[in-house]
């Protein structure tokens, strides 16, 4: 009797929004590299349960479901209630867990010392970027955002700080190094280290060339890198050979290195 060929193990990768797509794509690639039959469905969020129910048959036909969406696992929980197969939840976050831990600790310490309220410097410009999981973490910890709530953006905050003669009115922003790494790219100690080395080296190269830069970021795009500087310096920085050499020496050995104008939030908008 001839043995029937084994049926392929089917995996369905489900994701909610566009911010989750890079992680979902990585999950699909891993499944297929392992020889599994894998397919993906996007734009399936718990905000619209009709979209989840619309793919119910596909969910139930799968041998395993991978859900790459959000930080709290809500979509994975809903999917698990509809199927009998294993469901793997992949939380997607670019700062949620870090901010949640830090703000939760600060809030607890504040309450212990008689300060029940905590506020951050989150401003109106920060709220424009849809990929700000740290803001979500603050809201869950009851943290206030007076600058955002009153509509004060970064420019207005600096303007008021200068008027009040605060010494920090012109201080450049210093977000954590993890914010330089493209969403969907795994954050590791070597990646953070090479971003730090690259920014230090590029700043030194610009100083040697007589260029004073205010905002400088080296964005880790995976294999490629993007050096962002003040808009009025792009024309002067782009042709400098020392800039790309500094970035490569820092660890970006392969891939393209581009120079562009600094723009907050640009890492997640292309």
- Give me 120's structure tokens: 């951050």
* Mean pLDDT for the stretch of residues 90-104: 73
Q: Which fold, 177-264?
A: GMP Synthetase; Chain A, domain 3 (3.30.300)
pLDDT in tens, 143-187: 999 999 999 998 999 999 999 999 888 887 777 787 888 877 777
Question: What is the β-pairing status of strands 217-220 and 225-229?
Answer: antiparallel
Residue ranges of the chain that CATH labels 3.30.300:
177-264
pTM of the model: 0.58
- In SS3 terms, 89-131 reads as EECCCCCHHHHHHHHHHHHHHHHHCCCCCCECCCCHHHHHCCC
Quote the CA–CA distance of 134 and 65 in Å, as a whole number: 27
pLDDT at 202 > cutoff 90? yes
| pLDDT of res. 190 | 86
- The residue with tokens 């100690």 is 189
- Rounded to a whole number of angstroms, the distance between the first and last alpha carbons of the chain is 57
| pLDDT of res. 183 | 76
CB 96 within 8 A of CB 136: yes
* H-type alpha helices, the chain: 21-33, 49-54, 56-61, 74-80, 96-112, 124-128, 133-140, 146-149, 154-163, 189-208, 234-237, 241-250
Query: pLDDT averaged over the chain?
Result: 84
CB 66 within 8 A of CB 32: no
Quote the CA–CA distance of 109 and 231 in Å, as a whole number: 41
- The residue with tokens 């410009």 is 125
pLDDT at 7 > cutoff 90? no
- Give me 21's structure tokens: 């797509």
Question: What is the β-pairing status of strands 10-15 and 87-90?
Answer: unpaired
Quote the CA–CA distance of 151 and 187 in Å, as a whole number: 32
Quote the CA–CA distance of 31 and 9 in Å, as a whole number: 10
The C-alpha angle 61, 63, 64, rounded to 5 degrees, equals: 115
pLDDT confidence band for 5 (50 / 70 / 90) = very low
pLDDT at 36 > cutoff 80? yes
Pick the CATH number of 10-90 from 3.40.50.300, 3.20.130.10, 3.40.50.1970, 3.30.360.10: 3.40.50.1970
Residue ranges of the chain that CATH labels 3.40.50.1970:
10-90
């Amino acid at each position: 009797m001839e043995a029937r060929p084994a049926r392929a193990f089917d995996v369905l990768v489900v994701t909610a929004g566009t911010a989750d797509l890079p992680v979902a794509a990585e999950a699909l690639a891993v499944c297929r590299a392992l020889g599994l039959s894998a397919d993906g469905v996007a734009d399936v969020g718990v905000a619209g349960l009709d979209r989840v129910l619309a793919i119910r048959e596909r969910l139930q036909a799968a041998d395993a479901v991978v859900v790459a969406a959000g930080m709290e696992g809500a979509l994975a929980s809903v999917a698990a209630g509809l199927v009998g197969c294993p469901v793997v939840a992949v939380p997607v976050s670019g700062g949620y867990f870090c901010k949640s831990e830090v703000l939760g600790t600060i809030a607890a310490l504040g309450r212990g010392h008689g300060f029940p309220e905590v506020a951050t410097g989150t401003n109106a410009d920060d709220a424009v970027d849809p990929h700000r999981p740290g803001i979500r973490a603050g809201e869950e910890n009851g943290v206030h955002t007076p600058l955002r709530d009153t509509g004060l953006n970064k420019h207005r905050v600096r303007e008021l700080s200068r008027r009040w003669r605060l010494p920090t009115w012109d201080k450049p922003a210093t977000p954590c190094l993890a914010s330089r790494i493209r969403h969907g790219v795994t954050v590791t100690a070597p990646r953070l280290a090479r971003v730090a080395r690259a920014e230090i080296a590029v700043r030194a190269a610009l100083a040697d060339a007589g260029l004073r830069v205010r905002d400088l970021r080296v964005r880790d795009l995976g294999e490629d890198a993007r050096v962002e500087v003040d808009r009025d310096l792009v024309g002067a920085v782009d042709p400098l050979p020392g800039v790309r050499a500094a970035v490569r020496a820092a660890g970006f050995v392969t891939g393209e290195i581009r120079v562009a104008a600094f723009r907050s939030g640009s890492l997640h908008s292309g």
